[in-house]
């Protein structure tokens, strides 16, 4: 009999989703109640995941589902980010009249899919988690049905995501056909030497996963979906799916295909270089903050992939650390974006930040720290994130990758500095409202302090991550 205590967080989430659906159907005007209950259930879920940290590495269902240091940390990161997203979004949803009962339930469904993806050690389990996540995201992208851009972004995401899921499934079936198993460990044992069938299967899977993290050249959906979706959904898109996708990248590359590193290393290096360069260059001409963060996230995913291309534990750890810091930077940035509100209307153009320092000095200072961190300016957290990546890359003598990363950082710094110039030196605009939701203030404060104070005690994060050893 399997020890089902290990998957109690997933069982708990499933039960909560069903209960909330029943409450939503039978109780009228219960959107706020369901939203609050969802947030509370995520906090309980965080505590349940933390308890898993005390349990030694285990697996369930004939090794198809893994509970280890990697899965526990990434689940903790996912749910923690989910809580912050929920805290920041409530006021925005109310003002835009999209605070429907389905929203928090879809968020929970998507998180459930991510939890399954993170622990998957089997192609079928991984695909099941991916589709559970994607189905919720399709609806969330077009949640604001009255907005033409939102409907367009939902449709675009659905069509392109369905294509990537098809390619991914084809890759899974190829691997199953040539290795006679869907379990990652068994694929490693059965595959022996690399053959064309396995290589093709792996390429298809990597294409599908590259789409999910919007790596170049599979990024085409990101700018439109980020801009068209409601800002709360964009925030969710920018953070949570990337954690799950990165974990699956690690699991697939470093467990079943670790012996084929020569075959996949070049693919990951190409995705990394293309994403870093394109993310840095394409963001320069943007006028919308959400489109800017879309191109910025493409670039950041390039850095995360650079760490994975090394084929070492240090590379994996540097990517996980980078991802953690990236999440905090994004949460902080979107919190600032939610504060650009005047007469119950939200603003998201770069020009709307004009002269912000004169009317809102604290908000301007927070944005200054966030943008400097995104640019990788020391001693902020963003600098350390890139430093760890460059260290792991240089140790493997991948100098070209490090040089491209460094040059991309310099180019990206240009548009971050341009925003800072607009905030501090351009003529001021009408004052924004200051009566913000407490959850929004908490998210901005926590994430800004993390970015600002990380250099004082960086070992707090690196010590936890250093325990994650895959190879």
Instruction: Note the pTM of the prediction, 2 decimals.
Output: 0.93
CA–CA distance, 388 with 33 (Å, rounded to integer): 43
CA–CA distance, 385 with 382 (Å, rounded to integer): 5
CA–CA distance, 401 with 399 (Å, rounded to integer): 5
3-state class (DSSP) for residue 59? strand
What pLDDT, on the 0 to 100 scale, is given for residue 2? 57
At residue 462, does pLDDT exceed 90? Answer: no
Query: Which of 405, 86, 81, 134 has its CA nearest to residue 243?
Result: 81
Q: Which two tokens stand for residue 61?
A: 């269902």
Residue 368 lies in a domain: yes
Residue 61 lies in a domain: no
Q: Is the dihedral of CA 172, 176, 181, 184 positive or negative?
A: negative
What pLDDT, on the 0 to 100 scale, is given for residue 1? 45
Q: What is the pLDDT of residues 52-99, one digit of tens each?
A: 777 777 888 888 888 888 889 999 999 999 999 998 888 888 887 888
Query: Which of 255, 291, 345 has its CA nearest to residue 71?
Result: 255
DSSP 3: -
Q: What is the pLDDT of residues 355-389, one digit of tens each?
A: 888 888 888 899 999 999 998 888 888 899 999 99
Residue 172 lies in a domain: no
Residue 143 lies in a domain: no
Q: How many domains does the chain have?
A: 1
φ, ψ dihedrals at 349, nearest 5°: -90, 150
Residue 21 lies in a domain: no
CA–CA distance, 121 with 3 (Å, rounded to integer): 17
Q: Which two tokens stand for residue 459?
A: 């070992």
What pLDDT, on the 0 to 100 scale, is given for residue 144? 80
Residue 415 lies in a domain: yes
User: How many residues comprise the chain?
Assistant: 471
- Report the percentage of the chain scoring pLDDT > 90: 25
Q: What is the pLDDT of residues 91-143, one digit of tens each?
A: 888 887 888 888 899 999 999 999 999 999 889 999 999 999 989 988 888 88
Those residues whose C-beta lies under 8 Å from the C-beta of residue 369, and which sit 6 or more positions away, are: 332, 380, 448, 451, 452
3-state class (DSSP) for residue 58? strand
Tokens 């290795």 -> residue: 179
Residue 293 lies in a domain: yes
Can you tell me the mean pLDDT for 418-425?
88
Residue 381 lies in a domain: yes
Range of the domain at 399: 260-471
For residues 274 and 217, the answer to whether their CB atoms sit within 8 Å is yes
Helices (H) and strands (E) counted in the chain, each on its own, are: 19, 4
Can you tell me the mean pLDDT for 7-33?
87
What pLDDT, on the 0 to 100 scale, is given for residue 192? 63
């Amino acid at each position: 009999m399997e020890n089902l205590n290990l998957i109690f967080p997933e069982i708990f989430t499933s039960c909560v989703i069903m209960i909330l659906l029943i409450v939503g159907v039978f109780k009228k005007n219960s959107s706020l109640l369901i939203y609050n209950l969802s947030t509370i259930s995520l906090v309980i879920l965080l505590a349940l995941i933390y308890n898993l940290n005390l349990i030694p590495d285990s697996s369930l269902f004939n090794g198809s589902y893994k509970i280890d240091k990697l899965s526990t940390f990434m689940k903790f990161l996912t749910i923690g980010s989910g809580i912050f997203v929920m805290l920041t979004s409530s006021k925005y949803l109310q003002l835009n009249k999209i605070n429907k009962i389905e929203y928090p339930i879809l968020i929970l469904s998507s998180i459930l899919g991510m939890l399954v993806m993170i622990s998957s050690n089997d192609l079928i389990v991984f695909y099941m988690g991916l589709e559970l996540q994607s189905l919720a995201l399709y609806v969330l992208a077009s949640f604001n049905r009255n907005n033409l851009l939102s409907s367009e972004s939902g449709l675009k995401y659905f069509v392109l995501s369905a294509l990537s899921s098809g390619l991914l499934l084809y890759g899974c079936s190829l691997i199953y056909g040539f290795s006679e198993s869907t379990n990652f460990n068994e694929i490693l044992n059965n595959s022996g030497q690399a053959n064309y069938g396995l290589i093709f299967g792996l390429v298809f899977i990597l294409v599908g996963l590259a789409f999910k993290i919007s790596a170049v050249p599979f990024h085409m959906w990101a700018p439109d979906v980020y801009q068209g979706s409601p800002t709360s959904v964009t925030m969710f898109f920018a953070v949570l799916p990337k954690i799950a996708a990165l974990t699956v990248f690690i699991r697939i590359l470093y467990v079943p295909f670790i012996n084929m590193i020569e075959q996949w290393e070049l693919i990951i290096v190409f995705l990394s270089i293309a994403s870093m360069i394109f993310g840095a260059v394409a963001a320069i001409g943007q006028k919308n903050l959400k489109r800017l963060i879309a191109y910025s996230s493409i670039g950041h995913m390039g850095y995360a992939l650079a760490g994975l291309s090394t084929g070492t534990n240090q590379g994996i750890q540097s990517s996980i650390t980078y991802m953690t810091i990236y999440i905090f930077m994004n949460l902080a940035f979107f919190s600032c974006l939610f504060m650009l509100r005047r007469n119950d209307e939200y603003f998201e153009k770069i020009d709307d930040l004009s002269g912000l320092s004169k009317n809102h000095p604290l908000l301007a200072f927070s944005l200054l720290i966030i943008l400097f961190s995104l640019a990788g300016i020391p001693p902020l957290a963003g600098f350390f994130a890139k430093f760890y990546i460059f260290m792991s890359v240089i140790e493997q003598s991948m100098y070209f990758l490090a040089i491209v990363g460094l040059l991309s950082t310099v180019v990206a710094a240009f548009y971050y500095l341009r925003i800072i110039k607009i905030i501090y030196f351009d003529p001021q605009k009408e004052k924004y409202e200051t009566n913000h939701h407490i959850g929004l203030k908490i998210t901005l404060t926590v994430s800004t302090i993390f970015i600002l104070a990380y250099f004082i005690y960086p070992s707090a994060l690196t010590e936890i991550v250093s325990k994650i050893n895959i190879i």
